[in-house]
Chains A and B, each alone.
Chain A
Amino acid sequence: MKASLLDYLLRTRLPVTIFVVAASFIITFFASRAERDGVGYTPDQPINYSHKLHAGEMQIDCQYCHVAVEKSRHAMVPAIATCMNCHKIAKKDSPEIIKLAEYYNSGKTLMWKRVHKVPDYAYFNHSVHVNKGIECESCHGEIKQMEKVGQMNSFTMRNCLSCHRNSHERLPYIKDVKRGPEDCYTCHR
């Protein structure tokens, strides 16, 4: 029996098309996972502030600037006045500091680009995690090596839960670490 056009379409063309579409979707889906989760997102900031210099080389404590991290849900981006504590004197003539001083003196709004974002239906609490002894680097990556801050881990529910469920493996440096709570209300309310 002679193969009809319909046979060709159904037996060959259709499966091949479906396969190609599905395969490319699956490959793109997994390959772009990190990209979609925002891992690697490193935006340009209005002032080229270096965490590597301040936190890494000069070993300024994280909490000198992020003052609320032990007390509140938010770590808090420091007030410009905090920068000016030193930079009224230090490195006054560097071009970035001139920019900073201008923000401070003119009262112009300084718009830092946001790097990390937890969706607004999740209520992440910095203070609980920090007070349990979890280090900033466990979520934010090697901040002390970063010239420009980027996102190192994905901030998805899967990633939160992987640590809450396997805290022993993920946080070996805390003695007697307990599993994190997994109730919905822990994060969603």
Chain B
Amino acid sequence: MSDPKDEVQNQDPNYWRSFEELYSDPKFLKEINNEFKDGADEAPDTSKMSSLSRRKFFALLGASAAVAGAACSDYQDRGEIVPYKDKPEEITIGKANYYASTCGGCSSACGILIKTREGRPIKVDGNPDHPVSRGKICSQGQAATMSLYDPERLKTPRQKIKNRFEDINWQQADSEIIEALSNIGGKEIAIITNQIISPTENRVLKDFVDKYTATRIYSFEQFNESVRNIAWQKCYNSDEFPIIKWDEAEVVVSLDSDFLGADYNRVENTRLFSEGKDVINKNFNRLYSVESDLSLTGMNADYRLMLRADAQYAFVMGIINELQSKNVINNTVNASSFNLSKLAADFGLSEKILNYLINDLTNKKGKAIVYAGNHLPEKVHIAVNLLNEELGNSNLYNTKQSRITVRKLSSLNDIKKLADKMNSGNVGMVIHYGSNPVYNFPADINYADAIQNVDKVITLAETENESANVSNYVLPINNTFEAWGDAKTRTGFYSMQQPVIAPLYSTRQKESIILSWINGNSDSNKENLYHKYLMSNWENEIYPTLNSRIEFKKFWFGALHDGVVRSNDTSTGNGSFNYAALSGLTNHQNKMKGMTVHIKESYSLRDGRFANNGWLQESPHPVSKVTWDNYAAISTTTAKKINVKKDDIIEIKVNDRLLTIPVFVQPGHADDSITIETGYGRTNSGSVSEGAGFNANTIFSSSGGITPWLYEGVTVKKLTGTYRLVVAQTIYDFTEEDKKDIPEKRGIIKEGTVEQYLNDPHFLNDKKHKDLKSVNPPIPYDGLKWGMSIDLNKCLGCSECFVACNVENNIPVVGKEEVDKGREMHWLRIDRYYSGTAEDPKVSVQPMLCQHCDQAPCETVCPVLATTHSADGLNQMVYNRCVGVRYCSNNCPYKVRRFNFFNFRDSFNDSYQESPVFALLHNPEVTVRSRGVMEKCTFCIQRIAEARSDATRESRKMIGEDVHTACQDACVTNAIHFGDINDENGELYKYRNHELGYHVLEELNTKPNVTYIAKLRNTHSEEA
């Protein structure tokens, strides 16, 4: 039997990155012969620029005054040095301090380690002692410092007076609000919050309810696991939700789930999952992904099937039916009307892959896990639970730890009732407690209209948002780096949060605002109000339960130091499966209606709360590489059917709700399905996020969908006009000629299968380029020599490394227009290559950074010796010598050098990044580059220098393991290793000399110091 899709897989892959490349668009071919994109080196069109802004005018004024002043002053003057009055004991100028805390970015509550310099947080990494994060953190956590220093943060309390916001003081705000609270007169006080993860914060809210009894608390997350959890409760009668031991799974079947990408708890998921892909111990798991969009998870699947989301129920019941008919599992549910072969025929799924899947589930009983996406309906989750239970896979649920919630999320029904009460005038006050319901609430409850009927609306927020705009009072709250707290998301431990910087503005911790309202005294707020409350809650409530032998004060400082406190509450483990839950599984196949729309949480902005963070806005989508925008992703076939191409604007109609959004044709997307990420299209939210993307929440509703995130029966209409979507990764494209020989000759991507590797470990070894001669005399590097290895088996293309690099190395945000011209400044990019057909491509990812070649082509062409080689093998770039001729970039075969066409800090968004507060964000060990110089990855030379000075101080020899680069520290899957390539005992040595190790573009004889470990797909190669 020959399946056309499998034939493609066995051909030599023809790598491509965009449709223009695949189909050799003539305009595109012309463009790629140029080194820089059209317009990249053109002067800006001044007529299009905004005229001299107020800020620039003052800057100019200041500069001219300074010039005039300098002319008259002492030219030898070198400024002043200001000493401390009393130096804090822990601070040494020039040395970083690290504090353990808990990330407040989302409800995962990962443990973080905050690096501070002279009292200001500059970098965030995971807390190595924290059981969830284990030293790793997601890209939102990495970029959090930019939100702290966002110059557009709210700075003082505001009150709306005659439709205009005016600054007021805290005392006035508090006294007026306390008065309103006391005279609420039988009406409801509604507090709307995000998910509460802190037991102490939950107590504060309870106290508030005790004091003001008319209060009701609504906790809401736009993206949550409520459907999965309800299914779990029905199946196991338990409120403790399992954590999956991905590391022990040999087979993972992901049903439209993005557990490696956008889903909750992805840091732990990716860490555990990647432990199952180990080239050193030759241990490989297998991932099947059955999905509608091409997600980060699907991109890394060994086998991928495309299936619209509303057919997932038929798919999982088909599997159950198949396994029942083979007597692999018991006949506990009637699935007779679901036939897998028929489904395969209907949706064009490869029968061969389905056979592999069935065989794997049969043979790997107890070692395979099936996992369904959060947006799929309850019955899919129940069927999946059943499948896992019957196959004995439930032993992959971690019974030692389970997820618990401090406060249950409100159901959409509760939210609807709240809106009804508002409309009937029964709500006297609404407090947006750090939440943004105007943006995030389902569109069908018309929250923005309902809120007009509330007497007093109060928003507690860090930055302006949609909800603040409709409030009577806007109260600024502390950033997570300025706040105290604790978190309890699992059995077995608590996480601690401590402030690492005093509040930058006149902001208050949100709990302490509530506490002073409970006190009913507007003068009662002190800076340490919540700190004291937190401590006493721990001393009286939590500490006694821990049976600690240490006295409380010591215990408390220990807890803050570690950032995590072990507790002895244990998981009750899995109950027995409740077969009554299966009554919800119908043996009836629904007809597919129209198209489906899946509303997905954005990879970088999440539900929109990180929208004003420039680093995150500019980080390309991990699959499509689109930046600064969201879009409707559709398949090539669907695009042809509705006659649209990339950038065309369409109107999507979902149950009478309309959304206008541009199209992006995504290779590998399922037909008749649309995937839209939300978090974009923010209004009144700060100058970075405004105008970026489209608000997809206009079709998010509490009813009418399969789940709130998934709709069927959707119709699409093409509108006139286009909208430019900027794809970050087409700067350096291939010509038709390049494409043909890339896999074999150029060796940019080398791949194979696990079977090939196990049969012949050296199957990829290419002797062709081993004896290349060089005109340069060989330089012996016998001392310490730096090198890096990147294991492409573990690399998922998730972007964590790349955001960490931005933070560590002071990379500016350049804006959408500049990205379009190929001027983004990222030192590290993640190249994504497709191979195979446009309908069903395979995906390969490759982080690309300066390769620090021993025979670097850039060095020989620099006319001013601004880039040279060091004795320890680094390709050095000296900014103060660079004159900006860009020859080096021209001669670099890897295209990793970035040129400052502008002072981007000044040119982006009206000098947004030159606000005084932004200076606090910068890493003081890295130069802030200005206009006209070339820059590139330095292998984190500042970290090497620090390690070297530490070694000198301790009178020892520096070894490779002393240095961790920022990307290496950030890589959740530990795909990156860094160290001394000459050290035979070092970790790097194993990878550098691995059978699967290769260098990119080996035939150029540049001798790179970055080794890539070739990706192995765990597919069956018997037919090869």
Contact = CB atoms under 8 A, between A and B. Distances in A.
B92 interface: yes
A185 B874 contact: yes
Given A115-B78, A127-B949, A189-B942, A121 B86 contact: no
A87 to B, nearest CB: 14
A180 to B, nearest CB: 12
A98 interface: no
A136 interface: no
A127 B85 CA distance: 23
B83 A79 contact: yes
A189 B926 contact: yes
A25 interface: no
A181 interface: yes
Interface string B855-882: 0000000000000101110101011110
Given A72-B92, A128-B952, A189-B927, A121 B83 contact: no
Given A131-B952, A185-B941, A189-B926, A112 B80 contact: yes
B952 A79 contact: no
A71 B95 contact: yes
Contacts, number: 121
B945 interface: yes
Contact of A113 (B80, B868, B926): B80
Interface of B is mostly: loop
A158 interface: no
Contacts of B879: 121, 188
B96 to A, nearest CB: 10
Contacts of A67: 92
Contact of A184 (B84, B876, B925): B876
Contacts of A27: none
B54 interface: no
A80 interface: yes
B83 A78 contact: yes
A186 B872 CA distance: 11
B866 to A, nearest CB: 9
Interface in B916-957: 925-927, 938, 941-942, 944-945, 948-949, 952-953, 955
A92 interface: no
A114 interface: yes
A123 B926 CA distance: 9
Interface stretch (A13-21, A103-111, A163-171): A103-111
Contacts of B942: 123, 189
B51 interface: no
B870 A185 contact: yes
Given A183-B871, A183-B876, A188-B879, A77 B94 contact: no
A182 B717 CA distance: 66
B231 to A, nearest CB: 54
A183 to B, nearest CB: 4
B788 to A, nearest CB: 16
A109 B953 contact: no
A109 B870 CA distance: 43
B78 A112 contact: no
A125 interface: yes
B938 A185 contact: yes
A162 B355 CA distance: 73
Contacts of B874: 183, 185
A23 B874 CA distance: 44
B162 interface: no
A15 to B, nearest CB: 33
Nearest to B868: A184
Interface in A87-138: 103-104, 107, 109-117, 119-121, 123, 125, 127-128, 131-132
Contacts of A112: 80-83
27 contacts: A43-B76, A71-B95, A72-B93, A74-B94, A79-B83, A79-B85, A110-B82, A110-B83, A112-B83, A114-B78, A117-B78, A119-B880, A120-B927, A121-B879, A123-B945, A127-B953, A128-B948, A128-B953, A131-B953, A132-B952, A183-B870, A184-B878, A185-B938, A185-B941, A185-B944, A188-B879, A188-B880
Q: Report the 10 A-B pairs with minimum CB-CB distance, sorted nearest first.
A: A72-B94, A183-B870, A79-B87, A79-B84, A73-B94, A111-B80, A114-B78, A121-B880, A184-B876, A117-B78
Given A116-B78, A117-B78, 15 more contacts: A41-B76, A41-B78, A68-B92, A70-B953, A81-B84, A107-B85, A112-B82, A114-B79, A125-B945, A127-B949, A127-B953, A132-B952, A183-B871, A185-B870, A189-B927
